[in-house]
Amino acid sequence: MAKKKADKPKNAVTAARSGGKPPLARRAWENFKSLAATLAIFLFLRAFFVEAYRIPSGSMIPALLIGDWLFVNKLRYGPHVPFTSVNLPGYAVPKRGDVVVFESPYQADEAELGNDPTPTLVKRLVGMPGDTIYMRGGLLHINGIPQRQGYGAEQNPKGDPTEVHPLFDWQKKVGLKQSRFGPAPEQPTHDDWGPFVVPAGHYFMMGDNRYNSKDSRYWSFVPRANIRGRPLFIYYTYVPQNESDRALSFITDIRWSRIGHMIK
């Protein structure tokens, strides 16, 4: 009997807690569970609530600059369930004038170049479902009403107003042959296109920097299911290295005055 007592663990509580596992293996397992839980919470928040987004181009100058980092509110318009075609209900609907983050319609020309054919983009929503939209002399019209661009964008450099691009050809199929606003031109150009009607469940997006923006004029309307959220504010921004005269511009050339700037 004495021998059997001696064979028992000296600390039964420790033995029960360890489950027979070596202490190092148990600590590793606990650390793994903590890391996995943290990662799961992060991915959940990123998928359904807020996501960071970096501005890679100048298509929204001056509202958004290259090097701006934004927080995007995904809950506003309804979060998209990852790896599905399901969008959950939001607490607001997209409206004209909103800056919107969305998944681009398929761009065959980008696929041919080996680029992402459906990139995540940020543009301004200018055309609602049912709107008749067109441009004459570079001035956008919605339902016959001229739209002053505003947002400080009138200061952006102008390009060639007569530019003809092969990607404009989709407009020929939807351009109205007859309307109270006149017929669509046989050949759409950068500053003269439409009128056409925005289909139900779709939106027309344009960049504020209109001579440097590849938008709905090139790849058509954006389905409601593609909308991912609305930018909230700039949480970090710096002058890109190719525009800065300072080394390590992401540290040495921060745009302090833009941090915290709300997106309008």
pLDDT tens-place string over residues 233-262 = 999 999 999 999 999 998 999 999 999 999
Give me the pLDDT at residue 3, please: 52
Which residues does 180 contact at the CB level (< 8 Å), separation at least 6?
144
Identify the band that residue 50 occupies on the pLDDT scale cut at 50, 70 and 90: confident
The reply to whether omega before 105 is within 30° of 0 (cis) is no
Backbone angles phi, psi at 88, to 5 degrees: -80, 160
Give me the pLDDT at residue 199, please: 98
SS3 37: helix
Range in 3-7, 21-25, 165-169, 187-191 the model is least confident about: 3-7
- The answer to whether residue 3 sits within a structural domain is no
- The answer to whether residue 18 sits within a structural domain is no
Give me the pLDDT at residue 13, please: 52
Strand partners, 53: 70
- The answer to whether residue 63 sits within a structural domain is yes
Task: Give whole-number Cα distances, 110 to 101, 219, 243, 246, in Å.
Answer: 19, 11, 26, 33
- The answer to whether residue 12 sits within a structural domain is no
- The answer to whether residue 32 sits within a structural domain is no
> 130-173, pLDDT tens digit by residue?
999 999 999 999 999 999 887 778 788 889 989 999 999 999 99
- The answer to whether residue 42 sits within a structural domain is no
In the chain, how many domains are there?
Answer: 1
Catalytic residue status for 8: no
Q: Give residue 220's domain range.
A: 47-258
Give me the pLDDT at residue 94, please: 96
Tell me the mean pLDDT in the region 46-62. 85
* Residues above pLDDT 90, as percent of the chain: 69
Backbone angles phi, psi at 13, to 5 degrees: -65, -45
Tell me the mean pLDDT in the region 51-57. 92
Please identify which residue in the block is written with the tokens 């569970």. 33
CATH code for the domain of 198? 2.10.109.10
> 112-133, pLDDT tens digit by residue?
999 999 999 999 999 999 999 9
Give me the pLDDT at residue 10, please: 53
- The answer to whether residue 6 sits within a structural domain is no
Cα–Cα distance, 188 to 180 (Å, whole number): 18
Identify the band that residue 44 occupies on the pLDDT scale cut at 50, 70 and 90: low
Where is pLDDT greater, at 166 or 5?
166
Per the CB < 8 A criterion, the answer to whether 135 and 163 are in contact is no
Which residues does 224 contact at the CB level (< 8 Å), separation at least 6?
87, 94, 201, 202, 203
Give me the pLDDT at residue 22, please: 64
Catalytic residue among 74, 123, 213, 220: 123
Question: To the nearest whole number, what is the mean pLDDT of the chain?
Answer: 88
Identify the band that residue 101 occupies on the pLDDT scale cut at 50, 70 and 90: very high
- The answer to whether residue 30 sits within a structural domain is no
